Amino acid sequence: MNDVLLTCKNIEVSFDGFKAVDGVDLELRRGEVHFLIGPNGAGKTTLVDAITGLAKYTGSVTKDGEELRGKKIPHIARKGIGRTFQTATVFENLTVAQNLDIAAGAGRSPWSLLRRRKHLPQQVLETMERIGLADHAGTDAGILAHGQKQWLEIGMLLVGDADVLLLDEPIAGMGHEERETTGKLLHDIAADRAVAVVEHDMDFMRANASRVTVLHAGAVLAAGSVDEVSTDAKVQEVYLGTSNAAPSETAPSKGAPSKDMETADARVA
């Protein structure tokens, strides 16, 4: 069930001598929503950049036994590793359907590219349903609401058959209702994929994380379940601050997330 889809070993990224990521190990498993949290500058996005081929690193990233270090961005993407960006990046002058059709077609032959699309592929139709944009197939992505763009970007990874999804702040700027929908969506898609979420929002993390890795100054500070991480002394000191507010902030919410996670797990099953 919980098979490992992506393995990162001892990842180091440095910019002009500054180590943005300093020896991080990470495993992403099928069926889990894995949160990467940490203060600003902890190296979360840089880690995602490294895995997806944007930032140079030392160490190793493997998927299905293939070493991905040094591979080009499109190659890594075609290996099934998809990512989103902090500012949702979709093709604003194309419709929702066109956006998804492009995302579904990375393996298309030149010949099929040069012809017109006769009908939308089945998985594009299914994904539009799944991300709640079925009614917007012909809408230009540029005029979608903020949250809808983020869902569309996630949908683009789904139709591209990515089974490792790296989502950079997927709920930034979303309202309460949209967050809940996104949380459900994450668990829904994690059923047969590995999902990693870079996030600042603690409530969202507590409500949705199957596993949490806390980064600080480029290194892993703690890793484990929400409960394990929340009670970790180092995490409280570094991430939540040393003030007395820290325990009181985590304490009352402790019950809630586990309950949420039960329901979440029930959904997955």
Partner 1 sequence: MDMLVGQLLTGLSTGSILLLAALGLSLTYGQMGVINMAHGEFIMAGCYTAYVTQQVIGDAGVSLLIALPIGFLVGGLMGFILEALLIRRLYHRPLDTLLVTFGVGLILQQVARDSFGAQAVNVSVPEFLRGGVDILGTTLPKTRLFIMALAIVAVTAVTLVLRFTPAGRRIRAVVGNRDLAETAGISTRKVDAATFFIGSGLAGIAGVALTLIGSTSPTTGQSYLVDAFLVVVAGGMGRIKGAVIAAVALGTLQAVFETNSTASLAKVGVFIVIVVFLQLRPQGLFTLRTRSLA
Partner 2 sequence: MSAVSKFFQSKFGIWSGFAGAAVALFGIMPLLLSGFRLGLFAQFLCYAIVAVGIGLAWGRGGMLTLGQGVYFGMGAYLMAMHLKMADAEFRNGPGAVPDFMELAGIRSLPAYWAPFASPVFTIAAILILPTAFAVLLGLAVFKRRVKGAYFAILSQALAGAFAILLIGQQSLGGFNGISRFQYFFGYTINDPVNQQMLYFIVAAVLLAVVALSLQLRRSRYGELLVAVRDSEERVRFLGYDSANIKVVAYAVAALLASIAGALFVPVVGIISPASIGIVPSIMFILGVAIGGRASLLGPVIGALAVAWAQTTLSEQFPSAWTYAQGLLFIVVIALLPGGIASIPALAKRFRFKNNAEAVEATA
Among 39, 59, 105, 224, binds partner 2 (CB under 8 A): 105
CB of 39 to partner 2, least distance (A): 26
Q: Which is nearer to partner 2, 2 or 112 (CB)?
A: 112
Least separation in angstroms between CB 87 and partner 1: 4
Among partner 2, partner 1, none, what binds residue 55 when CB lies within 5 to 8 Å by partner kind? partner 1
Binding-site partner at residue 86 among partner 1, partner 2, none, CB < 5 to 8 Å by type: partner 1
Provide the minimum distance between the beta carbon of 54 and partner 2 in the complex, in angstroms, as a whole number.
8
Binding of residue 148 to partner 2 (CB under 8 A):
no
Kindly tell me which of 43 and 257 has the beta carbon lying closer to partner 1: 43
- Does 146 contact partner 2 by CB under 8 A? no
SS (HEC) of the chain = CCCEEEEEEEEEEEECCEEEEEEEEEEEECCCEEEEECCCCCCHHHHHHHHCCCCCCEEEEEECCEECCCCCHHHHHHCCEEECCCCCCCCCCCEHHHHHHHHHCCCCCHHHHCCCCCCCCHHHHHHHHHCCCHHHCCCEHHHCCHHHHHHHHHHHHHHCCCCEEEEECCCCCCCHHHHHHHHHHHHHHHCCCEEEEECCCHHHHHHHCCEEEEEECCEEEEEECHHHHHHCHHHHHHCCCCCCHHHHHHHHHHHHHHHHHHHHHHHHC
Nearer to partner 2, 7 or 95 (CB): 95
Residue 87 interaction partner, one of partner 2, partner 1, none, beta carbon < 5-8 Å per kind: partner 1
**Residues making contact with partner 2 (CB under 8 A):** 52, 72-75, 77-78, 82-83, 85, 89-94, 98-99, 101-103, 105-108, 112-117, 156, 160
